[in-house]
Structure 1
Amino acid sequence: MPRPLDDSLVIVLAGGAGERLYPLTKDRAKPAVYFGGPYRIIDFVLSNCINSGLRHIFLATQYKSLSLNRHIRMGWNIVSEELGEFVEILPPQKRVSEHWYQGTADAVYQNLYSIMREGDQGRRAAVTLAALEVPVADASRFGIVVVDEEDRVRGFEEKPQVPSPIPGTPDLALASMGIYIFDMDVLVRSLESDALQPTTHDFGRDIIPSLIHDERVFAYRFYDENKKAAKYWRDIGTLDAYFEANMDLCQVNPEFNLYDPEWPLRTYQPQAPPAKFVFAEAGKRCGQALDSVISPGCIISGSTVTGSVLCPNVRVHSFCHIEQSIVMPGVRVGRHARIRRAIIDRDVLIPRGAIIGYDRDEDRRRHTVTDAGVVVVETDDEPLVRSLDETALRYEADADGRGVEQGR
């Protein structure tokens, strides 16, 4: 584990409304949205900080931060207050130190910030910003960092139609990751100056561009030297991107490894029993999960779950089929429900016989449906419910060992 970087202060901007993740952000801040089962989005940037030896951390929150504040209070009281370490919600106090990190809770990735800082010190940089190599064809979705042959930043393009490529590599561009290391004096001067200007006061649009010509600003490439490729980084700012990033975790060998003992992921773990799979009745029903991530407290009772992520304390009743879906905590799925390519929000009650993800027109009438066809089900939604045919009723009654009329 890296040694603590005692003179470094981290500020994580965790107050975004996350409008592109709506309705998942209807009642919570984007960093508080669940990801990968038991985790919240904020857990990944905080784990990166702790694993990098950074233990002086502020979180600047604003939008509907109640659940985020509660999560931080219950799950991130792991540092030593006696040593002056803290993970705190702003504004508890003000600290002045030589270096200042700014990170965002908009993406899922692993980053050893201490290596980034070493490069920052070696170059005598006033600002170092993390950047990711992306294909030029996809670069219009990002803020693009324009660099010279030494990776010194010479310009910044906000979602350009014609992105500037990396020198010597015409098919790649550098996308800003929203992670910065500042010299504290430079930061304070730039913030004071920007506060007097009629700007949007945004780091990417205003602060960084204003420093490029007068200060030494460098890019740190988020790159895996062993694989000779960009490291895993997923911007989960849209529902489709969020969905696909979760589905990645269900692969046999996912690119992002939740099980790496060298890079532990921390979160608040509720007191929940182990996941349970019940009924193994040949020819009747079987509780099973295949190629899926199942969290503590879940019970899959005589149903099949494939390629899905279930958050804590989900209950799936018998004769259901859930495929390529994300199910948030506390969801109850009634018998005979069929769910495909869906995100089920927290504490939703899915009625018996519900059909989600099979009828595009009905889904659009009843729920939020993304451009890629992912169905988002909220608490007040009314899913399409089918009438069970005689075969299904007899199958259910036989499995329960009772009459057909009782099975209705």
Structure 2
Amino acid sequence: MKDILTVILAGGRGSRLEPLTRDRAKPAVPFGGLYRIIDFVLSNCLNSDMRRLLLLTQYKAQSLDRHINLAWRNYFIRELGEFIDVMPPQQRIDNNWYQGTADAVYQNIYAIEREQPQDVLILAGDHIYKMNYKPMLEFHRKMDADITVGALRVSVDQAREFGVMQTDLKNRIIGFQEKPQNPVPTPDDPDICLASMGIYVFNARFLYEQLCADATRDDSDHDFGKNIIPGAIDQYKVCAFPFLDENRKSDAYWRDVGTLDAYYEATMDLIKVDPQLNLYDDKWPVRAFQQMLPPPKFVFGSEGHSSRRGCALDSLVCQGSIISGGSVLRSVLGTNVRINSYAQVEDSILFDGVNVGRHCRIRNAIIDKGVSIPAETQIGYDPQHDAARGLTVTESGLVVIGRDELIEPSVAVAGSVKMAGG
């Protein structure tokens, strides 16, 4: 679809994911051992034949920009009109950073106009799901809509964190509330609401008009969900498109892993016998950066020492990792991880390059890249003690260690107590 331009909002700070977002934007956070969060929406675009992409970045974008160069540039051929262009804030229109989702697009309006699209597909870069965008675009044009909004059915309790829509029998939106305290359920089910997925298709000319008008309003948050969509439903044709899930499971899969606990739960689901997110579907592949690394290795399993056996059960282990006489249970290991002899890792997520020393015991933890755990260290067995040592601990007791943090033997990370709000 060469008359479609896709704009991906990838500048999210992800403050509730700290310390994982201490040095990177939320879309660049690793997920599932091998992937980054941004890989899911980019895979959707590629699988949907959307090959003209503008990626709008802002917050600590170096890691994201490097990942795009390594993993995604080769899929797009500039000579054929295909591209994935990373657009950092340029302050071309004013001296402010992006004030909201609509303002981020407005400040890049010249780059959008230059491509002369008929329609503009706007996506969030920090959600995990599988979707073919073609049917939504076809629906948008068939309905001759000014705006089409991707719609997800969620529970009433969940709906308080979304924009909530009400539609007529022709899927035209007749009501829209952003994160309401008392969400309006659907007519057919009092326990279900119709939520905005943060996926929008705009007629390009209409988008320009709305963004320019919104930019002049001092009382606006310059946000699609708070301002643009609610302000358009009375005068213009705004439609809802029901989410068509390419995950091929009984329940639709869409996740905003916006908190440490939500991120942990979504990741740990991957180790189940039948996980909700299907990463093994060759009909809708999820692409990622694949380093040239040796296969994972498990050693010291035949010496007759029951306590020194390199094994991993109910786990994902990425290439380059070596489990050298340690045990891993219900965990996700990134690339180049090393688990040394007699160490035990349970119910944990270890990013690339983590080294776990001998006789360590780790459970209920997320350990970011490049962290080396000294021998005989315990993490996750006493959350209060972990917090007192300076580790981030969520309300559920999940322990999180930031990238390249220095762990001193038997003392761990130096610093003040940090308790995350979940």
In 1, are the aligned partners of 2:375 and 2:409 still within 8 Å (CA)?
A: no
Question: CA offset at residue 151 of structure 1?
Answer: 2.3
Question: CA offset at residue 113 of structure 1?
Answer: 0.4
Name the residue aligned to 2:384: 361
Question: CA offset at residue 252 of structure 1?
Answer: 0.7
| Worse overlay, 53-62 or 364-373 | 364-373
Indicate how the Cα distance of structure 1 residues 14 and 224 shifts in structure 2: closer, same or farther if over 3 A, else same: closer
Check if 1:124 corresponds to 2:144: yes
SS of corresponding position for 2:241: strand
1:278 to 299, 304, 310: 299
Indicate how the Cα distance of structure 1 residues 229 and 118 shifts in structure 2: closer, same or farther if over 3 A, else same: farther
1:32 to 20, 28, 31: 28
In 1, are the aligned partners of 2:5 and 2:117 still within 8 Å (CA)?
A: yes
Name the residue aligned to 1:405: none
Question: CA offset at residue 217 of structure 1?
Answer: 0.8
In 2, are the aligned partners of 1:362 and 1:384 still within 8 Å (CA)?
A: no
State the distance in 2 between where 1:143 and 1:355 align.
42
2:286 to 265, 274, 288: 265
State the distance in 1 between where 2:315 and 2:38 align.
22
Check if 1:385 corresponds to 2:373: no
In 2, are the aligned partners of 1:355 and 1:383 still within 8 Å (CA)?
A: no
Name the residue aligned to 1:74: 70
SS of corresponding position for 1:249: helix
Name the residue aligned to 1:148: 168
Give 5+ residue unaligned stretches, structure 1: 387-408
Check if 1:21 corresponds to 2:17: yes
State the distance in 2 between where 1:112 and 1:257 align.
15
The TM-score, its normalising length taken from structure 1, stands at: 0.90
In 2, are the aligned partners of 1:31 and 1:42 still within 8 Å (CA)?
A: yes
Any idea what the Cα deviations from partners look like across 1:339-388, whole Å, max 9, x if unmatched?
A: 111100110111101111100211221211112221101233547839xx
In 1, are the aligned partners of 2:27 and 2:126 still within 8 Å (CA)?
A: yes
Check if 1:50 corresponds to 2:50: no
In 2, are the aligned partners of 1:132 and 1:230 still within 8 Å (CA)?
A: no
Name the residue aligned to 2:81: 84
Check if 1:208 corresponds to 2:229: yes
Give 5+ residue unaligned stretches, structure 2: 89-107, 412-422
| Worse overlay, 139-148 or 67-76 | 139-148
1:373 to 377, 397, 402: 397
Name the residue aligned to 2:270: 249
1:165 to 159, 170, 185: 185
In 2, are the aligned partners of 1:129 and 1:218 still within 8 Å (CA)?
A: yes
Name the residue aligned to 2:328: 305
RMSD: 1.9
Name the residue aligned to 1:136: 156
Question: CA offset at residue 126 of structure 1?
Answer: 1.1
Question: CA offset at residue 138 of structure 1?
Answer: 2.4
Residue type at the aligned position of 2:168? D
State the distance in 2 between where 1:337 and 1:287 align.
14
State the distance in 1 between where 2:147 and 2:136 align.
11
Question: CA offset at residue 300 of structure 1?
Answer: 0.7
Larger radius of gyration: 1
State the distance in 1 between where 2:36 and 2:246 align.
29
State the distance in 2 between where 1:223 and 1:32 align.
25
Residue type at the aligned position of 1:360? P
In 2, are the aligned partners of 1:288 and 1:305 still within 8 Å (CA)?
A: yes
SS of corresponding position for 1:260: coil
Check if 1:190 corresponds to 2:210: yes
Check if 1:220 corresponds to 2:216: no
Name the residue aligned to 1:12: 8
* Percent of aligned pairs sharing the same letter: 49
Any idea what the Cα deviations from partners look like across 1:181-216, whole Å, max 9, x if unmatched?
A: 110011000000000001111111111111111111
In 1, are the aligned partners of 2:30 and 2:36 still within 8 Å (CA)?
A: yes
Check if 1:178 corresponds to 2:198: yes
Indicate how the Cα distance of structure 1 residues 368 and 211 shifts in structure 2: closer, same or farther if over 3 A, else same: same
State the distance in 2 between where 1:97 and 1:178 align.
20
